[in-house]
Structure 1
Amino acid sequence: MTLRDRLTDGVYGLGWGTVKRLPEPVAVGLGRRIADFAWRRRGKSVLRLESNLARVVPEAGPERLRELSRAGMRSYMRYWMESFRLPAWDAARIRADVEIEGEHHLRDGIASGRGVIVALPHLANWDLAGAWVTTYVGVPFTTVAERLKPETLYDRFVAYREGLGMEVLPHSGGAAFGTLARRLRSGGLICLVADRDLSASGVAVDFFGATARMPAGPALLAQQTGALLLPVTLWYDGTRMKGRIHPPVEVPAEGTRVAKTAAMTQELATAFASGIAAHPQDWHMLQRLWLDDLEPRGGDPVSGAAAAAAEREGAA
């Protein structure tokens, strides 16, 4: 393990070990100070967030975009502070802090026994939403996590999410797809963060007037297993987190599998966009997303696996 890997693992370990013990006002204040420090530095992540927000709020001028990016960094750091403290929250605290509209879509889908796929973007705190499902709805679910480096950090994330009642599968070359399909065929619930996919299998969608790629997995799983596909959007409202479970995305009656997948993924993207447009400061997209943002200077657009590799290099 390199020195950088050890430092990264140590920082996250300190967060989970120490932040949850701080008095809540102290933790909230610490998160805001860290967010404001990062925002003032105007590093790559902040500039990318601002660039992404400019697409979401095209009428915003420079001053408004700076306000949004500052609020966005505070929201992002709130996610981390909550996540570090979430293992210490009891069911009553989670229930008090989360309010979800359209809950009947989820409960009816689970009761049907056909399996349910929840797809959501990087809005607010998706881990807190997962804890709400396991503690309040009372249903465990399966999700997928990208393998992180160092491996010890990935292990920390898996242990954290398993402690919240989630089954976590590694995202490695599509190997998780078969397990997810089996969980759905047995009437289970899976939850997938699905607003960004730079792999060769990503589906091109219109997103705020430009082309982005999103994962094909949710739509393919719904077609293959007959499971219900539910888009979900989240946002912060004061001290609480709120959310909306949107109506199901139906499998088109006609068309090839490719055409059906494209139509369903576009419907997901449209639902995601509605939530992001309403609460842009809570969209934690600090990476490149749109294809024309992946175009190198003086060259052809980067696509597929090459785009993913380029993005990883840029984030390093």
Structure 2
Amino acid sequence: MTNLLARLLHLLATLVGRLPWPWLMRLGDGLAAFWRWRDVRESRVARRNLELAFPSETPAEREALHAAILRTTARQVLETVRLWTRPHAENLALIRDVHGASLLDSAIAAGHGVIIAAPHHGNWELLNQWLATRTPLAILYRAPESAIGEAFLQSVRADRDRVTQIRAEGPAVRQLFKWLGAGGVVGILPDQQPKVGDGEFAPFFGVQALTMTLLGRLGARTGATVLMAWCERVESHPGRPPVFDLHIEAAPDAIADADPTVAVHALNATVERIARRDPAQYQWTYKRYTLRPPGSGEPNPYWVGATE
């Protein structure tokens, strides 16, 4: 039954993905307007994150950014549905420029392994598809709670002959060390909140956030090259397809420091710098700050009635 429902979901996604770009963008704008009108979860979380991360902005400035975030997020949802269900060559034509591709090629050629740290900025699914054209890679991902959602993702994500999806659980760390030890390429979304015990706190937009230590451990112990990568939307008009620039740059050495405190501080500072390029393209609908530093007495800031 799970596979049947996943196939039906894939069929629905395929039908949506066949809509003309102008229809998809207008549908996304309508979805964003609905989110704001009903103040759904995405709207509430984004607003709270902006209060935490941009306290010096006026309420009017935060509301304007809030509207832009929901519009960008809704459009990206529909973009991604199309990216998942259309030929990859067609999708990759949306990329206008690629900056830093030679860094990736050189790192792969060195044979010491490569870690791609890809923040939730722009469209990371399009980035995955581009990376798969350059090299086989393993992607660490957090599996959906729904078995149907998991089966659907397995069916739509990048070419399985080129991309190995590794669930962020159990033997994942061992698999990643093995992959890097063989000179392979690993993709990690570095700004997801880890479980207690799998991270350390470091400032992110001025707020302490539990941050993964895995990326730093992998880099420090394997000697793999760490690169930052993101696929940033540079044009997005209701009447035309979106246009992207893809960026790859060397990560600061401190991200792979043997001291996890040093590593997580460098990681958050780097992700924040990328997100500040265009805050509306960052994933502010994610509850990044639920876990608070031990002994701080701070409540979960997303609880109703929580104070800063």
TM-score bracket relative to the smaller structure = 0.7 to 0.9
1:314 aligned partner: none
The answer for the alignment partner of 1:41 in structure 2 is 38
Code of the residue aligned with 2:249 in structure 1: it is H
Residue 245 of structure 1 corresponds to: 248
- In 1, Cα distance between the equivalents of 2:231 and 2:270? 11
Q: TM-score, normalised by structure 1?
A: 0.81
- Whether the 8 Å CA contact 1:249–1:264 is kept in 2: the answer is no
Which residue, out of 178, 181, 202, partners 1:182?
178
- CA 1:12–1:65 in 2, change beyond 3 Å: closer, same or farther? farther
Q: Distance in 2 between matches of 1:149 and 1:26?
A: 31
1:212 to 188, 209, 212: 209
Deviation by residue 1:12-58 (Cα, 9 ceiling, x = unmatched)? 54652321121221122112211221122112321221221234433
Q: Compute the TM-score of the two structures, normalised by the length of structure 2.
A: 0.83
Once the two structures are superposed, residues 271-312 of structure 1 have per-residue CA deviations (whole angstroms, 9 ceiling, x without a partner) of 111111121101113132236x759xxx9447xxxx8xx99x
Deviation for aligned residue 1:120:
2.0
> 1:98-117 to 2 correspondence within 5 Å?
98-117=96-115
How far apart, in 1, do the equivalents of 2:8 and 2:211 lie?
Answer: 31
The whole-number CA distance in structure 2 between the counterparts of 1:240 and 1:162 is 20
Q: CA separation of 1:294/1:203 partners in 2, compared to 1, >3 Å: closer, same or farther?
A: closer
Counterpart pick for 1:71 among 68, 72, 75: 68
Give the SS at the match of 1:80. helix
Q: Is the Cα contact below 8 Å between 1:142 and 1:168 reproduced in 2?
A: yes
1 CA distance for matches of 2:33 and 2:245?
24
Q: Equivalents in 2 of 1:81, 1:70: separation in Å? A: 17
The answer as to whether partners of 1:183 and 1:189 remain within 8 angstroms in 2 is: yes
Give the helix-richer structure, 1 or 2.
1
For the structure 1 residues 234 and 263, does the alpha-carbon distance in structure 2 shift closer, same or farther, using more than 3 Å as the test? farther
Letter in 1 for 2:61: R
Structure 1 CA distance for aligned equivalents of residues 96 and 12 of structure 2: 23
Distance change (3 Å), C-alpha of 1:11 and 1:210:
farther
Instruction: Report the Cα offset of residue 100 of structure 1.
Output: 3.2
**Per-residue Cα deviation, 1:69-127 (whole angstroms, up to 9, x for no partner):** 12111211222212211131342541442533222221211111111001122111101
Structure 1 CA distance, aligned partners of 2:213 and 2:176? 14
- How many Å separate the matches in 1 of 2:268 and 2:99? 19
Per the alignment, residue 277 of structure 1 pairs with: 276
> Structure 1 residues 98 and 153 mapped into 2: Cα distance closer, same or farther (>3 Å)?
farther
Show structure 2 runs of 5+ residues with no match.
236-241, 304-308
Distance in 2 (CA, whole Å) between partners of 1:99 and 1:202 is 35
> Which one of 15, 19, 25 corresponds to residue 16 of structure 2?
19
User: What residue is the counterpart of 2:286 in the other structure?
Assistant: 287
The letter for the 2-side match of 1:272 is V
Q: In 2, Cα distance between the equivalents of 1:10 and 1:36? A: 30
Equivalent of 1:227 in 224, 227, 230: 224
**Structure 1 letter corresponding to 2:130:** W
Q: Describe how 1:86-97 pairs up with structure 2 within 5 A.
A: 86=83, 87-91=85-89, 93-97=91-95
Alpha carbons 1:228, 1:249 under 8 Å: kept: no
Query: Which secondary structure state, in structure 2, belongs to the residue aligned with residue 163 of structure 1?
Result: coil
Moved over 6 A (4+): 8-11
Q: Distance in 1 between matches of 2:190 and 2:207?
A: 17
187-196 or 77-86: bigger deviation: 77-86
One-letter code aligned to 2:114: V
Query: Residue 100 of structure 1 aligns to a residue in which SS?
Result: strand
| Gap change, CA 1:11 and 1:64, over 3 Å in 2 | farther
1:135-146 equivalent positions in 2, closer than 5 A: 135=133, 138-146=134-142
CA contact under 8 A between 1:99 and 1:240: conserved in structure 2? no
Say what the alpha-carbon RMSD is for the aligned residues: 3.0
Deviation at 1:242, TM superposition (A): 2.3
CA distance in 2, matches of 1:52, 1:251: 27
CA contact (8 A) 1:246 1:271 kept: no
CA distance in 2: counterparts of 1:29 and 1:65, whole angstroms: 23
Q: Residue deviations 1:168-211, cap 9 Å, x none?
A: 111224x2111111111111111111112241111211212221
Q: Secondary structure at the match of 1:218?
A: helix
Q: Tell me, yes or no, if the aligned pair for 2:210 and 2:292 is still in contact at 8 Å.
A: no
User: Separation in 1 of the partners of 2:255 and 2:52?
Assistant: 29
Amino acid across the alignment from 1:271: T
